[in-house]
Structure 1
Amino acid sequence: MFDIFQNTTRPKPQLFFEKNDASDVRLGEIVSAQPEDYENAEIVILSCAQDEGVARNKGRIGAALAPDQIRAQFYKLTDFGINVKIFDIGDTIIQKTLEQTHDVHTKIIGQILRDEKRLIILGGGNDVSYSD
């Protein structure tokens, strides 16, 4: 089995917004990033905070900042009473080359899908959503 935890970094705790109001629960209060919660998760959030692919395609740099910016806003949203276990595994560890990063990212995705989880992927560049 590919070790997804050795190839990812946990999301920053400060991104998990907490209102501490039982009548207004936020996603940051119900999504877990604790490795022991992975097994029971139904949905997994994974990101790849890099923009090397964007740079190679002569695009505007900044995609590497997207995952944390998305998380910062996403975790402020109300939970709308959803009853699914969501786990945020964090970021794929960036490798020496874009191709190596794609390879590791693909292996992480494969393991999560083999574990029968639904997956939400946050960019990075479009090369992460569809490697080119």
Structure 2
Amino acid sequence: MNFDWQGRYDGDEALYQRIFQKVKSGTQFSDIKEGDFALQGFAVDEGVKRNKGRVGASKAPDVIRKNMANFPVVQADFNLLDFGNLECLDGNLELAQDNFAENVSDILKSGGKSIGLGGGHEITFAHYSGMRKAFPDAKIGIINFDAHFDNREPENGLATSGTGFWQIAQEGVLNSLHIGIQRNSNTLKLFDTAHQLGMNYILAEELFFENLPRLYIEVNRFLESIDVLYVTICMDVFNVAIAPGVSAAAYNGIFADPAFMSLYRHILASQKLKALDVAEVNPEFDIQERTARLAACLVNEVFMV
């Protein structure tokens, strides 16, 4: 663990504790106990670069950590191990993804829950690959909060931040539900690919309070159909007013309003949840660390279940 976790100190008693007081340095995955959270930073944006996006997301993990540090601890048995950041050397994205996947597999086999801080959304293929190594016979479901499908075919054989779900589909049946998809952010080809690959989706325009009963039914149907769950959040799903620091800003993105938070918390409450990450936080374009703060809040929600 390279990051120096610091925050407001009110005391050591359980009622006063904040997250920074409970983080331990992760050195060996064998130290993980059942139910522990294991955190890794994916300090990589080579996939964003290849996808012609705004680079800078590789600097995000520690900024997100800083914004996580002061949240109160609300669960008595809360334990968080920080295994530091994984980087991409010499532009070798594939090696970085493989290394992250190996770590995820070790975390899950030890009984922990995997938390990833991106980095670009190329973290998706890495995180999923780790789950597949840990649960080779399970039906893995992915819920992706994103404005984009990320189902492009690799150009010249090179994966990017936008190819993750296409890559996953090439390895077997894809079980995914995409929430927050924007009509104006995906070409007809990408919608067609989504249909061909069996990608379920909820458009951004469908995410409003009065529509929650129908959305709960759709989410529940998906959760019932899988064995284990991985949730990934691309921060460009949110409106640029609350998430300006992303690789592709969304001027009509969704908000973290009661409708979104109700649905999100419902998903996190699933006993099948094994892994979660946030991606595409770009500190170079952030304002007052709004995007990093929102990402930290979304990660913190899983610690409160």
TM range (shorter): 0.7 to 0.9
Q: Distance in 1 between matches of 2:99 and 2:29?
A: 22
Q: Distance in 1 between matches of 2:93 and 2:61?
A: 17
Contact 1:11–1:90 at 8 Å: present in 2 too? yes
Cα shift at 1:129: 2.2
TM-score w.r.t. length of structure 1: 0.80
Q: 1:21 to 1:38 in 2, by over 3 A?
A: farther
User: Which structure is larger by alpha-carbon Rg, 1 or 2?
Assistant: 2
2:77 is matched with 83
CA RMSD of aligned residues (A): 2.1
> Aligned ranges for residues 5-24 of structure 1 at < 5 Å?
10-13=1-4, 16-22=5-11, 24=16
1:96-126 per-residue CA deviation (whole Å, 9 max, x = no partner) reads 3111111111111111111111111111100
Runs (5+) with no aligned partner, structure 2? 127-163, 165-305
2:99 to 95, 98, 104: 104
1:56 is matched with 50
Cα shift at 1:40: 4.4
Percent of pairs with identical residues: 26
TM-score w.r.t. length of structure 2: 0.37
Q: 1:19 to 1:38 in 2, by over 3 A?
A: farther
Cα shift at 1:28: 0.5
Runs (5+) with no aligned partner, structure 1? 1-9
Q: 1:82 to 1:60 in 2, by over 3 A?
A: farther
Structure having greater relative contact order (Cα 8 Å, sep ≥ 6): 1
Moved >4 Å (runs of 4+): none
Q: 1:38 to 1:18 in 2, by over 3 A?
A: farther
Q: Secondary structure at the match of 2:62?
A: helix
Aligned length: 121
Cα shift at 1:65: 1.4
Q: Distance in 1 between matches of 2:108 and 2:28?
A: 18
1:17-69 per-residue CA deviation (whole Å, 9 max, x = no partner) reads 23231253210111111537961441101111011110000111111111111
Q: Distance in 2 between matches of 1:105 and 1:116?
A: 17
2:60 is matched with 66
Cα shift at 1:88: 0.8
2:23 is matched with 31
**Structure number having the greater helix percentage:** 2
